[in-house]
Amino acid sequence: MNRHLRSCLPSSADGFPSIVLRISGTHRGNYWIHLLVDRETTLSALDSFLRDFWVECCHHLSSFEIGNVDYSNDNPSALGAEPQRGKSMDISLGDVLDRHTVEEFSYVYDWGSSTHLTVSVVEIGSWMLSTIDSDSEEDTSTGYQGLSLLTRNEHPQRECTSCGDPADQICQGCLRRRGPDALYCHACADDHDCKRPQFLPVVNSPRSGVCGYTG
């Protein structure tokens, strides 16, 4: 997909300085997206998008680690509050990449039941995000200015551990102990017997089955 995007993106000669990012689950690599991000977009805006699109469940804390520096949003309910650890996310993506000159960095949502993401720089150029959005056959809008969604993985097919039918439920208690064997179809979930059954829906997210995430 990285090669495909490089070949199909329009000429980067005209437009605003932008960055193509690939973001994937660090421990669940079959979940991934590509974003076209305006260079002036802040880490705070990228954090807000990732929360809304992929990970938000209970207003947990989050941070980017870029060049061994933490950029944290450790008080997301208090707008304008200074972070208690690390540096503020109120810095543009372009500036922070210039500062650290890295091609890959990490993001973590929830410092307890954590979801880790790996962010890779695929391409740097100058594109008109509005032109990309209007020319695309798919809906690339994200609701965030300076962010366009270019690709997303197809929903991974999961099988019920009991009958083999498509799974749509995860037993959260069993997930910690049994991993993939915690997946059930709706019918088998009704018959599932464990000490503390607590079901969450199977969703297209690296946070599927974690904490209270329902998609």
The answer to whether the CB of 116 falls within 8 A of the CB of 25 is yes
pLDDT at 138: 65
Query: CB-based contacts of 16: which residues, under 8 Å, 6+ apart?
Result: 38, 39, 40, 126, 127, 128, 129
Could you please report the per-residue DSSP string of 152-210? EPPPPP-B-TTT-SBP-EEEHHHHHHHGGGGEE-HHHHHH---SS--EEE--SSTTTTS
Q: What is the pLDDT of the chain when averaged over all its residues?
A: 86
* pLDDT tens sequence across 144-158: 888 999 999 999 888
Place of tokens 């699109």: 53
What CATH fold (topology level) applies to the domain 2-152?
Answer: 3.10.290
Among the residue ranges 10-14, 50-54, 67-71, 172-176, the one predicted with the least confidence is 10-14
Confidence of residue 60 (pLDDT cuts 50, 70, 90): very high
Report residue 42's pLDDT band, with 50, 70 and 90 as the boundaries.
very high
Closest residue by Cα to residue 73 from 106, 104, 108: 108
Query: CB within 8 A of 134, min separation 6: which ones?
Result: none
**pLDDT at site 85:** 62
pLDDT tens digit sequence for 156-213:
888 998 999 999 999 987 877 766 678 999 899 888 877 666 899 999 999 998 999 9
pLDDT at 79 over 60: no
Residue 92: CA count within 13 A, CB half-sphere: 12
> Where do the domains of the chain lie?
2-152, 157-215
Given a cut of 90, whether residue 83 has pLDDT beyond it is: no
